[in-house]
Homo-oligomer: A and B are copies of this chain.
Amino acid sequence: MRIEDLDTPALTIDLDILEQNIRTVQESCRKHDIPLRVHTKTHKTPAIAHMQLRAGAIGIVCQKVGEAEIMVSAGIDDILIPYNIVGKQKVERLIRLCKRATLTVACDSEITALGISELAEAEGIQVRTLIELNTGGNRCGVQSPEAALELAQKITAMPGLSFQGIMTYPSREQAKPFLDKTRSLLEEAGIPVHTISGGGTGSEAVSKAIGCTEARIGSYVFEGPTRINRNNNPPNPQTCAERMIVTVVSTPTPDRIIIDGGKKTFTNDRETPYGHIVEYPEAKISAMSVEHGHVDVSNCHHTFTVGDRLSVIPQHQGMVTNLHDEVYAVRNGVVEAIWQVGGRGKVK
């Protein structure tokens, strides 16, 4: 099967670029002497996670229990969920998973820890636990090294939990005093810190510099080693692995064509240009309805015909993956594999 045989819109992954991205970031982590734990949020696809592990990653990251269930059932063993798992239904699922794979979870409150501890104790298992620190990301996380110590002391006293260390996001230099202080407080209190987990695409050097024992990196797999500045720059076709193949379905006026992918195909973020047309960069995606992409071709000398096919690099590569059930892995125009996006839509 060739790329021309795919019905559209078709989400394709260029295998040469994908493999190059996996190699480049793995090599960079080796060079910086920091283990790579790949974040699967970008691809949600077990086949790609296995490629990353074969290249040398020490494990993966899933943001939701439902994603971890998919990855465990695809044979992946070492998974970090850097997310507070709250609520009996979800904790029960987490405990089941912990019996089948090496799971680690993060938490930032006694309530979250207690909820996991109670069910883990009842099942006679130990759940590996990190404390999330807010080192400036201002999302979740305890607010100070002292608060981290207090929570760590509670966790180490809880049955069913195995305290492993700390995590933060994103890794940055300003986080070092917070991390250093937390580690020394914990060690002074006799609580060993096995893991200090940092993260962010392009953060391997800084993660190492601030003392992390692993770097959680994800977006690179599709976007390339350097984070895209989504608001200002078009994606780089040399390092961006995703191409949405679309068909021109209408050429209503000389300055407008309509493609068969809209917000449901490309996400509905209206702040950015949705995507970039590889073959005709001067044709600009100007607006999207749910199922129609509006393309301004007034600066494009090509005359488009209904039925023409175009390759679009989506602007939001990770979010786009979540809209599609499968991706087509392509090399030199040939479809080498069709991969299920197993983690798609796993909101729970």
Contact = CB atoms under 8 A, between A and B. Distances in A.
Interface of A: 5-10, 41, 63-64, 83-84, 86-87, 89-90, 108-109, 111-112, 115, 134, 138-143, 247-253, 256, 258, 260-261, 263-265, 267-271, 289-292, 294, 305-307, 316, 318-319, 322-325, 344-345, 347-348
A250 B109 contact: yes
Nearest to A66: B7
A256 B63 CA distance: 20
16 contacts: A7-B87, A7-B89, A7-B90, A41-B290, A83-B249, A84-B306, A86-B247, A87-B307, A111-B306, A264-B319, A264-B347, A267-B268, A323-B323, A323-B345, A324-B345, A324-B347
Number of copies: 2
A272 B267 CA distance: 14
Most chain B beta-carbon neighbours within 10 Å: one of A87, A258, A322: A87
Instruction: Please list the 7 inter-chain residue pairs (A to B) with the smallest Cβ-Cβ separation, ordered nearest first.
Output: A7-B89, A140-B250, A111-B306, A84-B249, A63-B291, A86-B249, A268-B269
A272 B169 CA distance: 26
Contacts of A251: 109
Contact of A86 (B5, B142, B307): B307
Given A112-B306, A325-B345, 11 more contacts: A7-B90, A41-B291, A86-B306, A108-B250, A112-B250, A141-B252, A268-B269, A269-B269, A270-B271, A324-B345, A345-B345
Contacts of A112: 249-250, 306
A63 B292 CA distance: 10
Contact of A307 (B115, B247, B263): B115
Nearest to A86: B249
Contacts of A64: 291
Contacts of A322: 264, 323
Contacts of A318: 290
A143 B250 CA distance: 12
Interface centre among A41, A249, A253, A291 (most CB of B within 10 A): A249
A261 B347 contact: yes
A13 to B, nearest CB: 16
A334 B183 CA distance: 48
Contacts of A252: 108, 134, 139-143
Nearest to A10: B348
Interface centre among A89, A142, A248, A306 (most CB of B within 10 A): A306
Contacts of A142: 252
A152 to B, nearest CB: 16
Nearest to A134: B252
Contacts of A267: 267-268
A287 B186 CA distance: 33
A81 to B, nearest CB: 10
Contacts of A264: 319, 322, 345, 347
Contacts of A265: 347
A284 to B, nearest CB: 16
A289 B87 contact: no
